[in-house]
Structure 1
Amino acid sequence: MTVEKPAGQPESVQERLLAETAPLIEQLVAERVASRLMAQDATLWGPEAEPEASIRLAWTTLHSTSRPLVEEIEKLRDELAAEGVDRVVLAGMGGSSLAPEVITNTAGVPLVVLDTTDPGQVADALSGDLTRTVLVVSSKSGSTVETDSHRRIFEEAFAAKGIDAASRIVVVTDPESPLATSAGEAGYRKVFLADPHVGGRYSALTAFGLVPSGLAGADLRELLADAARTAHDLADDRPDNPALILAAALGAAHVRGAEKVVLADTGSGIKGFGEWAEQLIAESTGKNGTGLLPVVVESPDSPGFADAGEDATPVAIGPAQDDTMLSTSGDLGGLFLLWEYATAIVGRLLAINPFDQPDVEAAKKAARSLLDSPSTDEGAPTLVDGPVEVFAPPGLLPEGTGTLGDALRALLASAPEFGYLAVQAYLDRIADASAVVLRGELARRTGLQTTFGWGPRFLHSTGQYHKGGHQNGVFLQITGAVAEDMQVPGRPYTLGTLQRAQALGDGQVLVEHERPVLRLHFTDRAAGLAHLVKAVQEVGA
């Protein structure tokens, strides 16, 4: 497990960062931060954080404590295979889905991940062979609305096929959660109780990460062994501890105004690590008006990474390609642990609690309020340009704005110097996958660090930073017409209604935080996306 620091030229930003890192590393070593973290010392983040930290540090020993789970998971996998059940669908959000997706993609084993409220994407998951399907329902609280909706939909679908639904549902949750209780009452196939002293974004090596990954066929023993090999180094109070180096580099960068962390894979062999790290970093640090904003880019040649300015630190996942970037490399289990250690230590350097997420609930409350009063009247759009309806809060668009391109220019003009642009796509990340091109196109033409998130997935990730972190973001929200909606059994709403409520609710909270939000609604998704891409290309022409 390694962290490589940039060399650079004496006058470069990177060299100054390196010089600033040394005293921080010396400080962390003197304060024995690494060994105290392994020992689960809850006082590391100050008295205000201590109550939460005291029940959130069991992740430091998961490489050992999770080992008994492996045999249990393998036994269930063999039982299901003997019954002809070998297709695994995971219903989970945030930490319940991001780690399993990285683990299985890297291992090359199939896992269908449902972390969406888009009816089309859920319908796609339902269209698979249900006679071969097991559903893993994964929720720490047991009350996650998206995951509960998926469970209800699949339960009904199993029954409609004459399949005993209870025999095809596996639950991962915390002890005594509402889901644990209801799963027992329903007689579901298996209930795995995770360690309640691990927060969701630190749960990669708990039952939340291991159960769906192991049922899908990933090698869990190797994953935990990778983490165990790294754990000793990360707990050592030495200046070459990779977690201390990474934390000090990011902390020093933040002090000098580089609050963005741009992540690009440089040939690590690990697929999707940036998306997992995105939640870890954003939810852990983005609060109290401070924090690190993770920006996941497509490649090291992508805008935002190759041309990172003074407000950003490029970090490679894999070997460093030159001396201008930090890099972290190693096996997946070790990288999980490295970034968890470093992020927790950055919390100490930024004087924040890295284990709470005080602003996540705001968007959920706003969405619930809209579900309670599900009016379809959104008011007239500010303007309509072909298949795109543009909705803007008062004061964002100047008088006379008549085209989509004009609206985009007005949004971008509202960004402060060294601000960022967040693209939030409440669409189908399978059928509408080409929307991801917007990140690079906008970053290239604006010079702004630009993030891309699928809604509502990002609400359980960067959503915390958007409200609690540095208030220098502008937001481009995208919604689309639903061709075929889907009723949520036992609930008075459809998936389309829920998706709309989540988008509008989050937008409402951002506006209340006085952040610029422009919502684009595609009356025809394919045509709307093509029209938007064309408008973006003209913005910087």
Structure 2
Amino acid sequence: MPLHFDRQYAADALAELDVDRDALDGDVLAAHQRVLNGETASPEMLGWRQMLLDPDDALLESVADTANEIRERADALLCIGIGGSYLGAEAVMQALVPPFSDDGPEVLFAGHHLGPDYHRRLFEYLDGKSVYINIISKSGTTLEPALAFRLARRFLEDRFDDADRRIIATTDAQRGTLHDFAVERGYRRYVVPDDVGGRFSVLTPVGLLPIAASGVDVRTLFYGAVAEARELTEADASHPALQYAADRHAFHESGYKTEVLASMDPRLTGIGDWWQQLFGESEGKEGKGLFPVTLQYTTDLHSVGQYVQQGQRVLVETFLRIDDADDGPAVKEEDSDPDGLNYLAGKPYGFVNEKAYEGTAEAHAEGGVPNWTLTLSRLDAETLGRLLYFYEHAVAVSGTMLDVDPFNQPGVETYKQKMFSLLGRP
């Protein structure tokens, strides 16, 4: 199977907590059916699922055509957006675009924070390059991307006679500041669907256009998610996504507070960042939800690994890994064995990483951290598409089990109100 889910250490912990598994399976199936039947708190926001059950091949072809133009004409594509408007695309590209590659345009991001030095240096770096812009915002008024777009638009207009051709707006279909401005200026437009929230939008043009421009086959990515969605339509409580949702709920109800997503390969770090927003915004409301934290192992075993092993016992953990034990450069034998590593001679990096994972999972379980492992059989577009939908469906179900609305984020507006008041916005 493309995704393999191992829940042994979590199951052992739940058995010690005396969780009624039959009742838990019944609860997760009830929540699952509510998602399938459109009986969630916001049934109008289930487009992330419906679009996979009824694929729009013409849209995929249009995205691919625009991406091909960008790849042919641009040295750099600047994607402007924040939150779900960039995290999904960045995650997929980090996973699938080979590092140190010069195939196609460099994809850069702006408007995802307010760092002044970053944005100054970004436009200095872009000077002299052939640049396209993809501005991604449903409203066009979110402060961070709106400010960056002002800078970027002026940058293009000062340098290119065809600046308007080089700007592509991904925004609301019919209304909003960015929609109206894009129509006025004649920008090409793609639609952020009304029934898809930002954190679920990676498989819409929000994510698909920049991903395609990076050289990833978005049709294969999309249809990987289609396959996972169709499989889950017929699933029972034994499906890994539902087991994961059920286990998480049981730990939440037993007093656990935090979930760590530990990626065992740096190519998956961006998936962790995307997962963190997906689960944090979907579940973190009304005083509920596991706090999502993403770590990179083995790197972070040398920073917060001590806390995970022996700190407060309020953590659960998911290991996200790739089945690649035979990959990477092999350790070479040296005559004098100066570092004592000849016992690893002939072993590839992937084998060493696998044993690091196995030892860590066992150690953390023994230290009181229940954990699961989600293994990708290979790292390709199809498998990653499946993974994206796996998490989207799981959080819809787990949020429904918590009796919160998985598709709104009212708390996000609070900081904006305070910030705009301090800035003196009319």
Q: TM-score range by the shorter chain?
A: 0.7 to 0.9
Deviates more, 1:274-283 or 1:308-317: 308-317
Instruction: Output one character per residue of 1:105-143: Cα deviation in whole Å (capped at 9) or x when no partner.
Output: 112164201112112111232122454110110012222
- Closer/same/farther in 2, CA of residues 22 and 204 from structure 1, 3 Å limit: farther
Residue 260 of structure 1 pairs with residue 249 of structure 2? no
Change (3 A) 1:171 1:308: farther
Q: Residues 485-536 of structure 1: CA distance to partner in whole angstroms, max 9, x if unpaired?
A: xxxxxxx9xxxxxxxxxxxxxxxxxxxxxxxxxxxxxxxxxxxxxxxxxxxx
- Among all aligned residue pairs of Structure 1 and Structure 2, give the percentage whose two residues are the same amino acid: 27
Matches of 1:359 and 1:306, distance apart in 2: 32
Distance 1:145 1:70 in 2: 30
Q: Secondary structure at the match of 2:78?
A: strand
Q: Is the Cα–Cα contact under 8 Å of residues 269 and 296 in structure 2 kept in the other structure?
A: no
Return the offset for 1:16: 2.9
Q: Tell whether the 8 Å contact from 2:279 to 2:292 is kept in structure 1 after alignment.
A: yes
Instruction: Note closer, same or farther for the CA distance 1:225–1:162 as it changes in structure 2 (3 Å cut).
Output: closer
1:58/1:197 contact within 8 Å kept: yes
- Conserved in 1, the CA contact under 8 Å of 2:258 and 2:291? yes
Amino acid at match of 1:79: E
Partner of 1:74: 64
Instruction: Report the CA distance between 1:345 and its aligned residue.
Output: 1.0
Q: Give the superposition deviation at 1:175.
A: 1.4
Partners of 1:172 and 1:193 within 8 A in 2:
yes
Q: Distance in 2 between matches of 1:108 and 1:361?
A: 34
Match of 1:121 among 111, 118, 121: 118
Equivalent residue runs for 1:96-115 within 5 Å: 96-108=85-97, 110-114=106-110, 115=112
Q: Distance in 2 between matches of 1:306 and 1:136?
A: 43
Aligned-partner SS, 1:272: helix
After superposition, the C-alpha distances for 1:302-335 in whole angstroms (9 at most, x for unaligned) are: 4254446421111111267345321223321111
Find the counterpart in structure 2 of residue 223 from structure 1: 221
Change (3 A) 1:14 1:124: farther
98 and 18 in structure 1: CA distance in 2 versus 1, 3 angstrom threshold: farther
Q: Do 1:6 and 1:15's aligned partners in 2 also have CA atoms closer than 8 Å?
A: no
Please show how residues 32-47 of structure 1 align to structure 2 within 5 Å: 33-39=31-37, 41=38, 43-44=39-40
Shift of 1:273: 0.8
Bigger shift: 302-311 or 169-178?
Answer: 302-311
For the residues of structure 1 that align with 2:11 and 2:151, how far apart are their CA atoms?
58
Report the CA distance shift for 1:80/1:358 in structure 2 as closer, same or farther (over 3 A). closer
Kept in 1: contact 2:83–2:198 (CA 8 A): yes
Do 1:205 and 1:224's aligned partners in 2 also have CA atoms closer than 8 Å? yes
SS at match of 1:172: strand
Residues 65/357 of structure 1: CA separation in 2 closer, same or farther (3 Å cut): same
| Distance in 2 separating the partners of 1:18 and 1:230 | 32
- 1:209 is matched with 207
Give the Cα–Cα distance (whole angstroms) in 1 for the partners of residues 114 and 269 of structure 2.
24
Letter in 2 for 1:6: Q
Q: Report the Cα offset of residue 270 of structure 1.
A: 3.0
Aligned AA for 2:185? A
Q: In the alignment, is the contact (CA less than 8 A) between 2:76 and 2:130 conserved in 1?
A: yes
How far residue 35 of structure 1 moved from its aligned partner, in angstroms, is 4.5
Cα pair 2:63 2:209 within 8 Å, conserved: yes
Higher helix share: 2
Change (3 A) 1:306 1:172: farther
Tell me the distance in 2 between the aligned counterparts of 1:343 and 1:2. Answer: 18
Q: CA separation of 1:349/1:81 partners in 2, compared to 1, >3 Å: closer, same or farther?
A: closer
What are the Cα deviations for residues 247-275 of structure 1, in whole angstroms up to 9, with x where unaligned? 11110110111121111012495341110
Q: State the match for 1:187 in structure 2.
A: 186
Q: What pairs up with 1:78-89 in 2 under 5 angstroms?
A: 78-82=68-72, 84-89=73-78
Asked if 2 retains the 8 angstrom alpha-carbon contact of 1:21 and 1:245, the reply is no
Pair 317,9 (structure 1): closer, same or farther in 2 beyond 3 Å: closer
List gaps (5 residues or longer) in structure 2: 99-105, 323-356, 366-370, 377-382
Q: Distance in 1 between matches of 2:243 and 2:47?
A: 23
State the match for 1:519 in structure 2: none
1:534 corresponds to which residue?
Answer: none
Quick one: distance in 1 between partners of 2:116 and 2:22? Answer: 51
In the alignment, structure 1 segments of 5+ residues that lack a partner are 374-491, 493-541
Q: What is the CA-CA distance between 1:99 and the residue it aligns to?
A: 0.3
Give the TM-score of the pair, scaled to structure 1. Answer: 0.62
Matched, 1:347 2:350: no
User: Distance between the aligned counterparts of 2:35 and 2:132, measured in 1?
Assistant: 38
Deviation at residue 295 of structure 1 after TM alignment? 1.0
CA distance in 2, matches of 1:146, 1:268: 27
For the 8 Å contact 2:28–2:401, the answer to whether it is kept is no
Contact 2:48 2:196 in 1 (8 A): yes
Aligned pairs for 1:232-247 (under 5 A) are 232-247=230-245
CA displacement 1:209-262 (0-9 Å, x = unmatched): 111111222220121122122223322341211121011111011011112111
> Contact between 2:224 and 2:385, CA under 8 Å: does it hold in 1?
yes
Residues 306 and 139 of structure 1, relative CA distance in 2, 3 Å threshold: farther
Larger RCO (CA under 8 A, 6+ residues apart): 2
Match of 1:314 in 2: 317
Contact 2:131 2:156 in 1 (8 A): no
Q: Secondary structure at the match of 1:111?
A: strand
TM-score normalized by the length of structure 2: 0.78
Change (3 A) 1:207 1:338: same
- Rounded to whole Å, the distance in 1 between the matches of 2:17 and 2:320 is 19
Residue 403 of structure 2 aligns with an amino acid whose one-letter code is A
* Counterpart for residue 341 of structure 2: none
| Displacement after TM superposition at 1:179 (Å) | 1.0
State the SS of the aligned residue for 2:134: strand
Distance across 1 between alignment mates of 2:11 and 2:82: 43
In the alignment, the residues of structure 1 paired with residue 82 and residue 21 of structure 2 have an alpha-carbon distance, to the nearest angstrom, of 35
Do residues 55 (structure 1) and 44 (structure 2) align? yes
Pair 1:76–1:241, CA change in 2 (3 A): same
Deviation at 1:17, TM superposition (A): 5.6
CA apart distance, 1:15: 4.1
Q: 1:8 to 1:365 in 2, by over 3 A?
A: closer
- Which position in structure 1 is the counterpart of 2:249? 251
The more displaced of 269-278 and 356-365 is 269-278
Residues 393-437 of structure 1, C-alpha deviations (whole Å, 9 max, x = no match): xxxxxxxxxxxxxxxxxxxxxxxxxxxxxxxxxxxxxxxxxxxxx
Cα-Cα RMSD: 2.4
- Are the counterparts in 2 of residues 35 and 236 from structure 1 also a CA contact under 8 Å? no
Q: 1:327 aligns with which of 370, 373, 381?
A: 373
After superposition, the Cα gap between the structure-2 partners of 1:113 and 1:22, relative to the gap in structure 1 and judged at 3 Å, is farther
Letter in 1 for 2:60: V
Residues 199, 355 of structure 1: 8 Å contact kept: yes
